[in-house]
Amino acid sequence: MTPKTLADYLARKSRLETSRTPEAGIRKIKTVVTQPWLDTISLHHQSETVSCVRLDDLAMSVDLKRLDFIKLDAEGAENAVLCGGLDTLSRYRPALIAEFNPACMTRYFERDPLDYYNLMASIYPSISLIESTGELTPVAGYAWLNERIATGKGWEDIFCCF
């Protein structure tokens, strides 16, 4: 059977394995989520190891004809995902909605959020913050985005396009 979508392909290629205890996963979550309400709820967390493929390799292996849109939320690994898809992004020029979560980037992957922002800005000429109303607010640079994150919920969804 030939996959009809990237999701079909990934469903056949991905492999999930439990890699740590739920308690270890919850401790990791608490390094990023610091709000007091976290201690008042029961988290049913299970960490898994997922086999991954670079976006560029996937696009070539399935003979991708078009790619219009990407939703990216990789819990801090977004920079690595974009780096693995630079040729595909350049060729197909898809719109992108991505999470910008500095805490996950630094704590889980020891990456500088500024590197992720600079990479996005080098690919996409238009970067906007998605407000809670759904409206788009143009991002006025990294310092502006960082201030919004620091005074808000700790992360933001952004929309990038050509």
Same domain, 143 and 73: yes
- Going by pLDDT thresholds of 50, 70 and 90, the confidence category of residue 59 is very high
Which CATH number belongs to the domain containing residue 150 in this structure?
3.30.950
Is 68 inside a domain boundary? yes
Is 56 inside a domain boundary? no
In total, how many domains does the chain have? 2
Is 58 inside a domain boundary? no
Distance CA 155, CA 153 (A): 6
In this predicted structure, what is the pLDDT of residue 30? 64
Distance CA 154, CA 151 (A): 7
Same domain, 46 and 76: no
Mean pLDDT rounded to a whole number for the chain: 81
- Going by pLDDT thresholds of 50, 70 and 90, the confidence category of residue 153 is confident
pLDDT digits (tens, 9 = 90+) for 65-86: 899 999 999 988 999 999 999 9
Same domain, 8 and 83: no
User: Which range marks the domain in which residue 71 is found?
Assistant: 64-161
More confidently predicted of 24 and 20:
24
pLDDT at 3 over 90: no
